[in-house]
Homo-oligomer: A and B are copies of this chain.
Amino acid sequence: MTRVHVWGASGYASAEAIRLLQTHPHATLGALESASHAGQALAEHFPLLRWSALRFDGPGAVLAAVAAGDVVLMGGSNGTAREHAPAFLARGARVIDLSADFRLDPSAVYGFPERYRDAIASARLVANPGCYPTAALLALLPLMALGVARQIVIDAKSGITGAGRNPAVGSLFAEVYGDVRAYGLNGHRHEPEIAHELSAVGQTAPFVFTPHVVPIARGMLVDAYVVYDHALDENVVRAAYEAAYEHRSMVRFLPADRAPSVTAVTGNNRAEVSATVHGTTVRAICAIDNLGKGAAGQAVQNFNVMHGYPEECGLDG
């Protein structure tokens, strides 16, 4: 059993991680630190934890409790992990950070097990990927053997939990309901993360990224269009995806006539990917749960990899 502390425990992704870890056969929950919710019952805030007796701990709780061999899952807002992670690492804990703080930092391992499994296994500090990059990379990475593209278009549709649990007018039910809207027309903080990982596999093509909010709570669909200079062979493309995912238990490459479904991956850690060829363009579509494979599920998957447990342990297979 490994003890897992959660620092910044009151967000949607942290709550989902706590839900998953509660029944994980090799994890026990330690301190659940939240400055804003200290002393309150998790059951009061999260329906899926409604029958839990857990309470949030106050500031300093993780630092007081952490010991060598523990894991600290960091769920605070961007900028806070960079400040607090060093102390946890110094105590001998391993850290999985849900924020963007370390995703471009060479001192951390990028927690995308479909690509960096071995490095994650021995990492002390794992930067859990963003939800958009996770879905985009699952759609795009199998294409790396086709060489540098001319242009990539990434059109993403996300549930509103991606915006977090902070109250904002734009996240109110009455504002999201009935609407579909693009945002960040002039740049989104996930773009450098996508660019970093694409260039790591030699894909230096320019890309346009358009995030949209759709009126669902959880789940995400990303359509990635990759434009090449030459016509493509659909068999070659499909073979690349099949090779990439045939041994990945959490990702499924779909038959040619099936489209990914958000409801099929909501609440679990799975991803569905499709790919079709249209002349010189590949259209690859990926569905994940932004709180599952896009955040908490992937964090638990990384936890499993870091400890040698089966990847899907505690994640409904």
Contact = CB atoms under 8 A, between A and B. Distances in A.
Interface of A: 12, 23, 47-48, 50-51, 150-151, 153, 155, 157, 159-161, 165, 167-169, 171-183, 185-186, 206, 208, 210, 212, 214-219, 221, 223, 225, 227, 252, 256-257, 259-264, 266-267, 270, 272, 274, 276, 278-281, 283, 285, 287, 316
B214 A180 contact: yes
Contacts of A210: 223, 283, 285
The 4 closest A-B CB pairs, nearest first, are A167-B167, A50-B264, A47-B263, A173-B176
Contacts of A270: 51
A23 to B, nearest CB: 8
A180 to B, nearest CB: 5
A227 B150 contact: yes
Contacts of A259: 181-183, 185
Contacts of A51: 252, 264, 270
How many monomers of this chain does the complex have? Answer: 4
Contacts of A264: 47-48, 50-51
Nearest to A280: B151
Contacts of A182: 221, 223, 259-260, 274, 285
Contacts of A175: 173
Contacts of A256: 185-186
A20 B185 CA distance: 32
Contacts of A215: 173, 177, 214-216
A54 to B, nearest CB: 14
Interface centre among A50, A157, A272, A280, by most chain B C-beta atoms within 10 angstroms, is A50
B252 A225 contact: no
A177 B216 contact: yes
Nearest to A45: B169
B165 A168 contact: no
